[in-house]
Structure 1
């Protein structure tokens, strides 16, 4: 490549302000980028040398170097060794779709729901989402913990963590599990990037293509596609108000001999119901009889007020991790972006899963695990979780009454948790499509079943049901 090029205008940037809020570097970047976008600086134009630019604009060479580096990173300039900086040819910006263009029809499936959950709509416009509003979470505590962690060890940003997970966090999780009557030492705990990775790791460890995995029906939708992608056959066990349909569980277990049964014992997603003690014992009996490993997903653990207030039975507490693998995490109650979860199991399986995690991702985020540990040990998390539960309790009864007023039927109003499983009396796929056209995200019941068949039910998040636009839409469609 030759170095002959169109010279840039003598002054590629106008006067710079030292009194403005923007730094000199950012002013240079913004002005050069704007002139490239406007066509005033054409592709191939040679930028002034660093020294020439600095002299003509009264800034230091370091400022020019920083600005040019940012412009290279953003695709406006390119650096040619020994020749200088040149304006890079840029592709045409994407055109806005024509008003007359045909709308693209998207299949309403799990990918549709997850993709739309990440559209960054205001939380009050997403009654189908599965998380708490960000303003309910303690961002100040997370920021403080992050500052504390980075002040103590600056080098943690530069190195790997430990494959099994940050040891002080695993030691703290031992205390958390003990409070739930689950005995597990740090050597029995493996940290993960949320419960999603935990489920994937366990499924890969236990199943091969063609094997069967049982799930509740309804249940958390994302794992259906994840298990199917591994080649597993996913079969739903009908979920009732107090747990699975035991007759169907026993019948299907004898027929299909599944490797795993994934179940929410506490605050089941999407109904917020919890497993009764009687059914918990029977689930373990059937699993033992048919050689099924039970995977207990307890991601909503901290939204439950505790057994002293509401009776609750965890399978891992009954089984003590002999045939039950326990999963937990903090994405729902601390911050989704931390992505810190964990697996508690037998020491031998924990070692195997740690090796599997190491081969897949080396380690999880050490800094995220340190931040979670700091929040847990400083003692404020317990009160934070209590505030969230009280806030949900203050909304639940009146929100359920309002749901019934606009035409929804609630079979069993949950006493705790984030969700209500509501019957709309019509196909909620159609309702979800109409809601999306109105700028609202609903979660239709078909997505919560491995069969994906049409359903009159949908999952509603009571913390995201406070916008009058949601109620106006439901009233218009259902009454």
Structure 2
């Protein structure tokens, strides 16, 4: 891993008041807590860490001994220092993600993956104020968004009677917003009445509700391989069998999909039809027709996640499944987290009336209603006519950096999966272990997203997703070039 000067190690106190040993202890604790150094993993040798950090070997030994005393490390005579198996302090979700069952498990804890979804989500939230260091982030930087749109809507609401937002709200969501969404969907040639729309707290809640209603233990759910990783755990916790549909530079491999549905007879297919995450591909009309024909033939539900749809300009070659199916078999999901604010958390489900009723009922059982205040804010933004121009500006800014980001990645030696003409992501083959590159990037101050997280099996891979809005830091190009060159030199020296 690349060296990080001790004076750059984040600490809860001013580094000037801490000894070098204190600083090194805090560095080690943070790297272990963030799982850069994993349970059972050997720590860097005393000699190597002393050279990397520019400190004496005595300082490293003292820091390691303190980490042993604090329960972070084990000392093994003649072998070195190792990260202690500390699953007793892990959260339940981390236990499930790593397969650990605690001290009572006689077989011992299962070795966790190098980088997992919990690790990434934790670090994404911690990195929200430094997007220039987050090429792996899944949202646009705050400086690209328009806070005035949100604050203006809040001021407008503040001038109204407070009694309007003191009740529970409607299980389906704020009616004027659902009426506004009916108009927006009509622009996509999707016919949906307000009664066919249910407001949710983003795509994540939408997937959760649909999994609870339609997926039983043992059911097969087909997802992209690669695809949005956060849904994998939700379906798995429902007892579903996840089957990955491969992608080509032209979109989903539909010959493979046909073979999969014939073999597994799935309950559901979940797909991004427009600007798929992470490949950036979009469905053609022919592909969309074929998917719907398979859904009809093999009787499975199609969940269409269109969270990136507003980043797709008019006339772009992309087809929405719901526009062809008209919500007979397709359940359509939308959200505004990518274009307005990640924490606004307002999304919606558009579907047939019987599905809408089931979703609304399940929503009441899980969360009663969604916050009407957020829905009223979104209604103001959409109805006052400024949102369209805001989205056009976002598309223009993405167009302005896409080619630069692509050329930068190619200069480091990476190979792009495809060259999308819209959207915010590039899917690139790094040629090295993406997990190892992610860990090295984290050590150097960059949050990267390895391709293993985008596979339902989380298999090791050399692929990685890059957010083009966060690839402009020259230090990123320097780090990637340096790291990839060093791997190539090591491979050459060993004759690999």
TM over 0.5: yes
Aligned: 1:99 with 2:63: yes
1:290-329 counterparts in 2 under 5 A? 290-306=298-314, 308=315, 310-329=316-335
SS at match of 2:159: helix
Deviation larger for 375-384 or 97-106: 97-106
Q: Give the Cα separation in 2 of the matches to 1:468 and 1:243.
A: 32
SS at match of 2:208: helix
**1:142-179 Cα shifts (integer Å, max 9, x gaps):** 01101111321312453211100000000000000000
1:172-321 counterparts in 2 under 5 A? 172-306=180-314, 308=315, 310-321=316-327
The offset of 1:419, in angstroms, is 0.1
Asked if the contact 1:192/1:342 (under 8 Å) is kept, the reply is yes
TM-score, normalised to structure 2, is 0.75
**1:333-384 Cα shifts (integer Å, max 9, x gaps):** 0111110000000012101111110111000010000000000000000000
Q: Give the Cα separation in 1 of the matches to 2:416 and 2:363.
A: 41
**1:287-322 Cα shifts (integer Å, max 9, x gaps):** 11101100000000110002x2x2211000000000
Asked if the contact 1:150/1:156 (under 8 Å) is kept, the reply is no
1:378-457 counterparts in 2 under 5 A? 378-457=384-463
Aligned: 1:110 with 2:74: no
Q: Give the Cα separation in 1 of the matches to 2:428 and 2:239.
A: 32
**1:11-44 Cα shifts (integer Å, max 9, x gaps):** xxxxxxxxxxxxxxxxxxxxxxxxxxxxxxxxxx
Aligned: 1:374 with 2:380: yes
Q: Give the Cα separation in 1 of the matches to 2:83 and 2:339.
A: 36
The structure that has the greater radius of gyration is: 1
Asked if the contact 1:125/1:440 (under 8 Å) is kept, the reply is yes
Asked if the contact 2:322/2:330 (under 8 Å) is kept, the reply is yes
The offset of 1:417, in angstroms, is 0.3
Aligned: 1:331 with 2:331: no
Structure 2 equivalent of residue 357 of structure 1: 363
The offset of 1:241, in angstroms, is 2.4
The offset of 1:277, in angstroms, is 1.3
SS at match of 1:118: helix
TM-score, normalised to structure 1, is 0.78
Question: What value does the CA root-mean-square deviation take over the aligned residues?
Answer: 1.5
Q: Give the Cα separation in 2 of the matches to 1:99 and 1:186.
A: 62
SS at match of 1:191: strand
Structure 2 equivalent of residue 163 of structure 1: 171
The offset of 1:447, in angstroms, is 0.5
Asked if the contact 2:249/2:417 (under 8 Å) is kept, the reply is no
Return the match for 2:477 from 468, 471, 476: 471
Structure 2 equivalent of residue 11 of structure 1: none
Structure 2 equivalent of residue 45 of structure 1: none
Deviation larger for 178-187 or 270-279: 270-279
Structure 2 equivalent of residue 87 of structure 1: none
Asked if the contact 2:235/2:242 (under 8 Å) is kept, the reply is yes
Return the match for 2:133 from 110, 125, 129: 125
**1:207-253 Cα shifts (integer Å, max 9, x gaps):** 11111111011000000011111111111100222332112111111
Deviation larger for 216-225 or 113-122: 113-122
Q: Give the Cα separation in 1 of the matches to 2:328 and 2:350.
A: 11
The offset of 1:104, in angstroms, is 5.2
Q: Give the Cα separation in 2 of the matches to 1:255 and 1:227.
A: 19
Q: Give the Cα separation in 1 of the matches to 2:303 and 2:239.
A: 19
Q: Give the Cα separation in 2 of the matches to 1:156 and 1:110.
A: 39
Asked if the contact 1:261/1:295 (under 8 Å) is kept, the reply is yes
Asked if the contact 2:451/2:462 (under 8 Å) is kept, the reply is yes
Q: How many residues align?
A: 383
Q: Give the Cα separation in 1 of the matches to 2:459 and 2:156.
A: 49
**1:255-314 Cα shifts (integer Å, max 9, x gaps):** 1111110000000000111111111111111111101100000000110002x2x22110
